[in-house]
Chains A and B, each alone.
Chain A
Amino acid sequence: MANKVKEPLIHITRRDAIPWYKSWGYRAGAVLLSMAVCALITVLTTGENPLSVFGTIFDASFSTQRRTWVVFQNLAMLLCVSLAVVPAFRMRFWNLGGEGQILAGALATTACMICLRDALPNGVMIPVSLLCSIAAGALWGFLPAFFKAKWGTNETLFTLMMNYIAIQLVSFFIIVWEMPKGAGQIGIINQSTEIGWLPAVAGQKYLLNIIIVSVLTVLMFIYMNYSKQGYEIAVVGESVRTARYVGIKVERVIIRTMVLSGALCGLAGFLLVSGTDHTLTTSLAGGRGFTAVMVAWLAKFNPIWMILTSFLLVFLDKGASDISTNFGLNRSFSDILTGVILFFIIGSEFFINYRISFRHSAKKEEEKHV
């Protein structure tokens, strides 16, 4: 009795855990494929040959020493924000407010540098503005967390709206502190006295930021994987009910983790204002709060892998922006390329998590069993 059952052409099953080198192989494959597509798009829009396009991408980061420093500075800042959002995401708390938390920290630093410049010596100023920026970032993280913990308020939109409140606050203070009056910008703060500026280590203005973020990366790795609090975060993220059952105070974990997340973003704001930019603009955060979400997610929330993913994004962004200037395209070209690469990496997760088998291969298996 041949009972004919219609079998679908493609059958999808969940994979068991696959070894890390295989999963990273898939991701690397996705990146290579996306680079090929990006090269194709670039060739189509510019008419250049693909090799010179790749050359431009590489040169953008490594042709001069200065450029390499800039890449590492950008890498450090993106990594810092990504480290900040990781604990929140591990907890399944969608902190899309990185942008606002950075700006809050940056605003606090700027306020200290402007209002206290005549009162404090440099040695006191830096710790004071550091503390203020961390406190401001933590406050920006605390508000959505408090309401989430108490009443389950949707954190995705709450944190998103906090971004715009921070942006408007910053533009308010930019007008209050503008130099000269009517310019609509603050300009370099304390240019002559350099009060509140982080010192340059070994003559390199970016080195201190890079060192701080490297230390943070290691600390965050330890915190997430080997501390009690990190474990609590992971349990809350997997299942709130399990966490309650084993006696974890979920509300406290949510608030504590978001305060930490906001505080680190605030620190990033401090590093940006005090360490490198020495000024405040509404675009200071530069979309890092959103890019950090993708950096953290692509690295599966592992701080060490995040070095790699944030390097990839910074490297490609620099390359794409150089392509756009070299070939007379506009700056947004890099956003398109970044988007394409992200789509490929996002799509590759499917092939890591699922196995696809076609109809004929299923039949063959049957024959084997017979």
Chain B
Amino acid sequence: MFDFFLTFIPRAIIQGTPLLYGSTGETLTEKSGNLNLGIPGIMYVGAISGVIGAFYYESSLPGPEAFNGALAVAITLGANLLGSLLMGLLYCFLTVTLRANQNVTGLAMTTFGVGFGNFFGGSLIKLSGNEMPYLALNRTSLAFRTPMPGASTTGWFGQLFLSYGFLAYLAVILSLVAAFVLKRTRVGLHLRAVGENPATADAAGINVNRYKYAATCIGSVIAGLGGLYYVMDYASGIWSNNAFGDRGWLAIALVIFTIWRPNRGILSAYLFGGLYILHMYIPTGTDLAVKELYKMAPYVVTIVVLIISSIRNNREKQPPASLGLSYFREER
């Protein structure tokens, strides 16, 4: 039994980490009153931007011995941040500056982002001359997956807590920082004010648009890291089109599950990660059909949580009051 948990929990954590990034990013965004349904697209763009960076770095090398792990990580991260930042800026420009409808903009961004990812993914696969429909970036991925020191020498402790790449720890740190900033700092207070009632915040001298831009762009960058983690760590540096699947939507659902608290997101994301892979651990014998039913678990749980949290209708547990509305000063 203990052995089972020793294999199951690390896998759930690895599954849950992209969701954690996505939900932390989306929570920050939603706290500013922007409901960004473009997160799935942003995660795709973030992932493929990182892959493009890594691909060009790896293919620019004269030989395998010239590979520098730190440089590869830096280039990949840089490309990743740039890609998701641009997507965040686009979303802000359309919804904050041009005050477009947030849901429609978000859906268009998801269409665009997934297409962008698959298009450049497909083109890179062609460029690399690989006959299989995927692109492998083993060396960069190895650099991302380097476990913490002592992972292999400390037995079960190392396996449970030290065996992940640095991005998995960064996800936890970022969500703790986000929780702290939102709850304990003046910046966080202002941000929450913007999300709850932008007109009041504006009257109090807070620059509403600046907060919306900043929160949404930082949120996109964090979400984009989730896409990168998925490719470089979970998928071991192998990009294949559409592999990321519906995780972006689950990350958005997770925000409600965590009632807009990034620190709660950590365990919830791992729980969702566990639900996501549960079907592999339930013995069904040769009956493949039933497995498809078990794959429903994360979605059913999300719906149940949605219903329960709305029935309890606690004042503390509500979305930001102006979520999904754009703000125009001259219109009250």
Contacts and interface: CB of A to CB of B under 8 A. Distances in A.
A54 interface: no
Contacts of B131: none
Contact of A153 (B115, B122, B307): B307
B112 interface: yes
Interface string A321-358: 00000000111111110111011001101100110000
Interface residues of B, number: 53
A52 interface: no
A168 B295 contact: yes
B119 A330 contact: yes
Interface in B276-332: 288-290, 292-293, 295-296, 299-300, 302-303, 306-307, 310-311, 313, 319, 328, 330-331
Interface stretch (A61-69, A159-167, A190-198, A303-311): A159-167
Contact of B310 (A14, A147, A330): A147
Interface stretch (B65-73, B150-158, B246-254): B246-254
Contacts of B296: 164-165, 168-169
B94 interface: yes
Contact of B111 (A168, A342, A347): A342
- Interface size class on chain A is 35 or more
A297 interface: yes
B315 to A, nearest CB: 13
B268 interface: no
B42 to A, nearest CB: 12
A161 B311 contact: no
B107 interface: yes
Given A160-B249, A332-B115, A339-B112, A347 B289 contact: no
B104 A157 contact: no
A231 interface: no
Interface stretch (A111-119, A171-179, A245-253, A261-269): A171-179
Contacts of B123: 329-330
Contact of A350 (B100, B104, B112, B253): B100
B108 A346 contact: yes
A293 B116 CA distance: 21
A346 B100 contact: yes
Interface string B104-147: 11011111111111110011001000000000000000000000
A343 B112 contact: yes
B107 A347 contact: no
Contacts of B116: 332, 335-336, 339
A172 B287 CA distance: 10
A78 B264 CA distance: 40
B204 interface: no
Given A332-B119, A336-B112, A157 B100 contact: no
B107 to A, nearest CB: 5
B256 A157 contact: yes
B107 A335 contact: no
B288 A175 contact: yes
Contacts of B113: 339
Contacts of B112: 335-336, 338-340, 342-343
B32 to A, nearest CB: 18
A241 to B, nearest CB: 16
B90 to A, nearest CB: 7
Given A14-B328, A154-B310, A336-B115, A349 B100 contact: yes
Interface of A: 12-14, 94, 96, 147, 151-154, 156-158, 160-162, 164-165, 168-169, 171-173, 175-176, 287, 290-291, 293-294, 297, 329-336, 338-340, 342-343, 346-347, 349-350, 353-354
Given A160-B253, A171-B292, A290-B107, 4 more contacts: A156-B35, A157-B252, A332-B116, A350-B99
13 contacts: A151-B310, A154-B306, A154-B310, A168-B295, A168-B299, A171-B295, A175-B288, A290-B111, A333-B119, A335-B112, A343-B90, A346-B94, A350-B98
